[in-house]
Structure 1
Amino acid sequence: MKLYKNIMISATAGMLLLSSCKDDAFLKENLRDRLSTETAYTNKAQFDALSANMYRTIQLFYNTADLNHEAFILGQGTDVCFDPRDDAAKYNNWGLVNSREPFSEDWFNLQYSIIKDANTLIENALKPDVLWVNETQKNETLAEGYFFRGFAYRNLANMYGGVPIVDKPVKEAKIDFVRNTREEVWIFAKRDLEFARTNLPLTTTSPGRVVRAAADHVLAEVNICLKDYDGAIAAATRVIDGTDGAYSLVNARFGARSTEADKNYYYDLFVMGNQNRQTGNNEGIFVAQFEQSSTGAVVIGGTQFAGRPLIERMMWCNYWGLIKAGYTNVAQDSTGRGVAYCRPTNYTNYTIWRNSGTDIRNNETNIKRKYYFAANVGTFRKGDVIPKSFLTTRDDTMLYVYPNWAKFGTDKHIAQKPDNGYVRDFYVIRLPETYFLRAEAYLGKSRADLAADDLNVVRRRAQAPLVAAANVDIDYILDERARELYGEEFRMMTLTRLGKLYERTKKYGYERSQESVQSFNNLLPIPQNAIDRNVGAQMPNNTGY
């Protein structure tokens, strides 16, 4: 890689700003001894090493920091979840969401980090002196770069509106970036994704590596943004009908723990080791890798922070600490070590499950609603269900006892260690969402009947009552997304894409969020650091920030 003293994700866009330090000894070395971007990439292995950077960045979507940092993109402060520990926390209090707010800034910068690597890959893969086995290998490598660049620009446009488009490596200081329009960014992303969906392989032996179906899935969403509903339907259909590979909803027991009679196939989707196609899961389309042992492939396993993902710690309640119910305040293998940094709203825990019938996503296997006394307490015996009347304080129901979704933790940790023994891969894209996107596109064409058909494919798998076409609108689709994809989809981004964040938070969010959210929060702010560094051109922020 070309030797730079400082590589900064700049301003407006976290693009590369390059600075040098004249006195640093390493700058005096013989240029012939240094590796540069002009000479570094000459064969497939070297491009794979660059691709690994992008997969590592995807890991950071889920594994950057502790506490509630990763809950931001999952929808913290919106209709689906909130911070139960502090009413004054960011996104509980939308008044604290401004251009210097770090959660949103981190997400913004991660996208431009991906774009930086993708641009480097694309530029170098097109050079004539690269040693390719054949044209297919070249195009597949390029397609990986185009996929990630299109994916990142889709993320940016959905969340922030118009952002600067950078389509090649920035090799010298640049301080005059200009925001493109939101539509221009979506169009740019669409072109990248069209190349990716044409040239990515259908399958791969490397767990987690992107394939054609991932590109078509994201393309379907971008086409919806551009109101190209026919294009969206075509892209989603290629995933659903087998054109992009053999994908299907799981409807039978599989993988690790599949012999446990008290579990079911929906539970199996979230058992450690069960997320990749290589383990018999035909539902995962793009899966971020976190297994503790290295995959030995381009997509590196393991974690970058704290030795494990912190999803159980963040999303599960702290019932093992409810001393008044006989617990010892020591986490056990069977209880996990939830710390309640992010709690589902009443909408997520209760409203969406009204009239849910036999929907297995809502049964006790998949959402734990019953908690038991751990010792004899007064008239209660060990093993009795803790009644609602026993939960008398705010902390009782905000921190200690609330529904735990099984997809975020386990009762059988690695080495029986509840503090760091839940390490599973994360779905970036799962097939039910492809059905939801196609349903959304059908709705855009005023075909609620076909939208209902797609929703009912997912609901039928869940053994839920089927929905009638007359009841299908965009809010119903958002409800179904919450039922199926809570804690998986980037809910914050879904709501900003649709311009529904304000409306849905006002209606379903936590009380403090309802009180503080404003209509301009339908877009998030461009980070102030990006604006301040861009001294060569005006970089206006989104209205309201």
Structure 2
Amino acid sequence: MKRIYIIGIIFAALTSCSDFIEEENLSSESAETFYVTPEGFNSLVNANYSQLRDIYGDTPWLYIGGTDLYSKGRGRGPLGLAEYTDLNSTSSDVDHLYNECYEAIQLANRALYYSEITEQTAELSTLVGEVKFLRALSYFLLVQTYGGVAITDYYDTPVLEFDRNSAEEVYQQIITDLEDAIANTADGAYTGRVNKRAARNLLAKVYLTRGYEDFGTPSDFDTAASLADQVIGGQALNLPFEEVFAPGNDMNEEVIFSVQFSPNSISADPDGLGSRQYAYFGSYLGGSEVQGQAPARDYSACPTNFALGLFSKEDSRWEGTFMTEIFYINTDDYTGPSYFTYYRVPKEDHDNLVVNEFYEPQWFTEADSLNYVSTNLLAPDFKYHRWGEYSSEWTDQVSLDYEVICVKKFDDPDPETAFGGRSSTRDIFLARLAETYLMAAEAYLKAGDPATGLQRLNVVRQRAGVADATLAEFDIDFILDERARELFGEYHRWFDLKRTGKLVERASLYNAQIDEANFNGVNALKILRPIPQQALDLNQNNDFPQNPAYN
């Protein structure tokens, strides 16, 4: 491997390590003396895990922006990533994954360097396997987003010039790291740390994604299918969909890997260190979270009409994903809409609550509408949101509070953590069993065995309560629709569309804010994000290429 580094990233990584040691190393030892102890090396590995919060805990635009499912609402997300107009190397948020993933990679490289000189313990090889998984995850995010990037080693002095490895080389590095992780990490149930199952699951997705590349091979899909089946291991989807996301149930049996949060982990800076996943995907809910009755909402990433229209009456994921009713309360302390009453009152008593907002599903008939209004207790300012009048498209006509339906999957109703701008302590699921079934479905389809792929997909549909799909309708578009229903709001969509070659087609067809012409770059389509300008400016290698759409 070449010793090639980005000076700005080097300083960011050094700052991160320093901050972590200041917090954890109360004896103020130097890195050279601290990391060679079991305590010090463990703290360095923990710093690698902590970096996941910076990669995933903040803005979601590189994961979900510019797709068929989400478009800009009243909050107006970054124009380049959301619409592809004026997308360039200095566009807002383009540099997020580039900076945070390289910071993670440098933390991992530092841990791997010290693993060879630290005190050798029985758990050392396991910790090394965990670090290699985390490095592989960062490289995988980078190569999907930007294409080929620099593969770096551990550094002890800044290097001002670096080259760009090919995407094929980056994939090989990822695979090597994940194979090592599988060989060395622990087996058994998920406890919040990387284990063999999480490593196999990520490797399955890596092979699935590489199979679409021009340097991929058909055997990549076979390998992906086999790995996904190993991860599934005969485990059924035993939990009701809504229970998978129930507050307080973040470590349920279907979670394979997640970004971990806790009150203690964000106590130093709750608004800066918590997860913002709950804050996106819906409209404002009454201003500054009226007296603790509602969560903060960003109102910038809202569901499209297409996304909302994917759900049918029988699909339990509709109610499991969206907050379709918001209740009204009248107490000595507060009178008005109360989003969190949904959680504070047992579900069996919801029929006795007064409704303030209702979002009509697409399958409602006029008789259904009249029946709902006549059989429910309605607030003085009750608002009935008709189908087609609460999506991101609707914000172009009406831009008031409560005008867009909210995603509830990630809600944090704990009064101790729910009311800051970034203060949720809910974990972010990066891998869960239902998605592994859908990965297997896609891999088998691409490997030429659609019958087996269909079986995997129908396991997910059966849990949702909808009819089995048929071979006649089973194709990539059907899989993408199923992934949308199952994974709405989770951080996969842009990667799903890019992987399958459907980004331009589906984003321009189903997102009213995107025209197909928006994808036209200088010399290519904008199906990779641009290398951030700061990285180019800091690099003294003037031959380092920008991605072709932005030259």
TM-score range, shorter chain: 0.7 to 0.9
2:148 to 162, 168, 192: 162
1:54-90: CA deviation from partner (whole Å, max 9, x where unpaired): 22211113334xxxxx130331221111221249833
Paired with 1:114 and 1:102, the residues of 2 have a C-alpha distance of: 21
Alignment TM-score, normalising by the size of structure 1: 0.78
2:207 partner SS:
helix
One-letter code aligned to 2:46: A
2:91 to 82, 91, 101: 101
The number of aligned residues is 474
Shift of 1:531: 1.5
One-letter code aligned to 1:138: L
Paired with 1:360 and 1:18, the residues of 2 have a C-alpha distance of: 44
Shift of 1:123: 1.9
2:541 partner SS:
coil
Q: What does residue 465 of structure 1 align with?
A: 467
Paired with 2:513 and 2:30, the residues of 1 have a C-alpha distance of: 55
Q: State the Cα RMSD in Å.
A: 3.4
Whether 2:249 is the aligned partner of 1:274: answer: yes
Alignment of 1:472-487 (within 5 A): 472-487=474-489
Alignment of 1:204-353 (within 5 A): 207-224=191-208, 225=210, 226-227=216-217, 228-241=220-233, 248-251=236-239, 265-276=240-251, 281-294=252-265, 305-306=271-272, 308-320=274-286, 331=290, 333-350=292-309, 352-353=310-311
Shift of 1:146: 1.1
1:12-51: CA deviation from partner (whole Å, max 9, x where unpaired): x9356999xxxxxxxxxxxxx97244x4422332222112
One-letter code aligned to 2:528: L
Alignment of 1:121-520 (within 5 A): 121-127=111-117, 130-134=118-122, 137-166=123-152, 168-203=153-188, 207-224=191-208, 225=210, 226-227=216-217, 228-241=220-233, 248-251=236-239, 265-276=240-251, 281-294=252-265, 305-306=271-272, 308-320=274-286, 331=290, 333-350=292-309, 352-353=310-311, 356-363=312-319, 365-370=320-325, 382=380, 384=382, 386-388=384-386, 394=396, 396=398, 400-409=402-411, 412-415=413-416, 418-419=419-420, 422-512=424-514, 516-518=518-520, 520=525
Deviates more, 1:39-48 or 1:479-488: 39-48
**Where in structure 1 are there 5+ consecutive unaligned residues?**
1-7, 20-32, 65-69, 252-264, 295-299, 322-328
1:59 to 53, 56, 81: 53
One-letter code aligned to 1:220: A
C-alpha contact 2:151 2:165 (8 A) present in aligned 1 = yes
Paired with 2:124 and 2:544, the residues of 1 have a C-alpha distance of: 37
Alpha carbons of 1:401 and 1:18: their partners in 2 closer, same or farther (altered >3 Å)? closer
1:184 partner SS:
helix
C-alpha contact 1:273 1:425 (8 A) present in aligned 2 = no
Alignment of 1:15-94 (within 5 A): 15=10, 35-37=30-32, 39-64=33-58, 70-85=59-74, 86=76, 89-94=79-84
2:489 partner SS:
coil
Shift of 1:344: 1.0
Paired with 1:109 and 1:18, the residues of 2 have a C-alpha distance of: 9
Deviates more, 1:515-524 or 1:174-183: 515-524
Alpha carbons of 1:304 and 1:108: their partners in 2 closer, same or farther (altered >3 Å)? farther
Alpha carbons of 1:18 and 1:514: their partners in 2 closer, same or farther (altered >3 Å)? closer
Deviates more, 1:462-471 or 1:308-317: 308-317
1:522-542: CA deviation from partner (whole Å, max 9, x where unpaired): 111111121222213511111
Deviates more, 1:526-535 or 1:510-519: 510-519
Q: What does residue 260 of structure 1 align with?
A: none
2:65 partner SS:
coil
One-letter code aligned to 1:186: Y
Paired with 1:10 and 1:307, the residues of 2 have a C-alpha distance of: 25
Q: Matched residues, percent identical?
A: 28
Deviates more, 1:509-518 or 1:470-479: 509-518
Paired with 2:119 and 2:327, the residues of 1 have a C-alpha distance of: 63
Paired with 2:129 and 2:77, the residues of 1 have a C-alpha distance of: 45
1:95 partner SS:
coil
1:309 partner SS:
coil
Shift of 1:194: 0.5
C-alpha contact 1:443 1:473 (8 A) present in aligned 2 = yes
Deviates more, 1:308-317 or 1:441-450: 308-317
Paired with 1:332 and 1:451, the residues of 2 have a C-alpha distance of: 49
1:482 partner SS:
helix
Paired with 2:263 and 2:130, the residues of 1 have a C-alpha distance of: 25
1:192-216: CA deviation from partner (whole Å, max 9, x where unpaired): 10010121101368x4211111111
C-alpha contact 2:57 2:273 (8 A) present in aligned 1 = no
Q: What does residue 22 of structure 2 align with?
A: none
C-alpha contact 1:331 1:418 (8 A) present in aligned 2 = no
Alpha carbons of 1:163 and 1:319: their partners in 2 closer, same or farther (altered >3 Å)? same
Paired with 2:103 and 2:77, the residues of 1 have a C-alpha distance of: 33
1:542 to 531, 541, 547: 547
One-letter code aligned to 1:98: N
C-alpha contact 1:156 1:163 (8 A) present in aligned 2 = yes
Shift of 1:497: 3.1
Paired with 1:303 and 1:476, the residues of 2 have a C-alpha distance of: 43
C-alpha contact 2:458 2:469 (8 A) present in aligned 1 = yes
Q: What does residue 350 of structure 2 align with?
A: none
**Where in structure 2 are there 5+ consecutive unaligned residues?**
15-27, 211-215, 329-335, 338-354, 357-372
Alpha carbons of 1:234 and 1:45: their partners in 2 closer, same or farther (altered >3 Å)? farther
Paired with 1:340 and 1:472, the residues of 2 have a C-alpha distance of: 35
Q: What does residue 255 of structure 1 align with?
A: none
1:204-238: CA deviation from partner (whole Å, max 9, x where unpaired): 68x42111111111111111214412221222122
Alpha carbons of 1:60 and 1:509: their partners in 2 closer, same or farther (altered >3 Å)? same
Alpha carbons of 1:77 and 1:141: their partners in 2 closer, same or farther (altered >3 Å)? same
1:455-479: CA deviation from partner (whole Å, max 9, x where unpaired): 1111111112211122122222211
Paired with 1:187 and 1:543, the residues of 2 have a C-alpha distance of: 23
Q: What does residue 117 of structure 1 align with?
A: 107
Deviates more, 1:157-166 or 1:468-477: 468-477
2:286 partner SS:
helix
Paired with 1:238 and 1:304, the residues of 2 have a C-alpha distance of: 38
One-letter code aligned to 2:116: L
Alpha carbons of 1:398 and 1:179: their partners in 2 closer, same or farther (altered >3 Å)? farther
Shift of 1:143: 0.4
1:53 partner SS:
helix
One-letter code aligned to 1:145: V
C-alpha contact 1:160 1:525 (8 A) present in aligned 2 = yes
Paired with 2:89 and 2:396, the residues of 1 have a C-alpha distance of: 32
Alpha carbons of 1:417 and 1:48: their partners in 2 closer, same or farther (altered >3 Å)? closer
Alpha carbons of 1:372 and 1:286: their partners in 2 closer, same or farther (altered >3 Å)? closer
C-alpha contact 1:118 1:149 (8 A) present in aligned 2 = yes
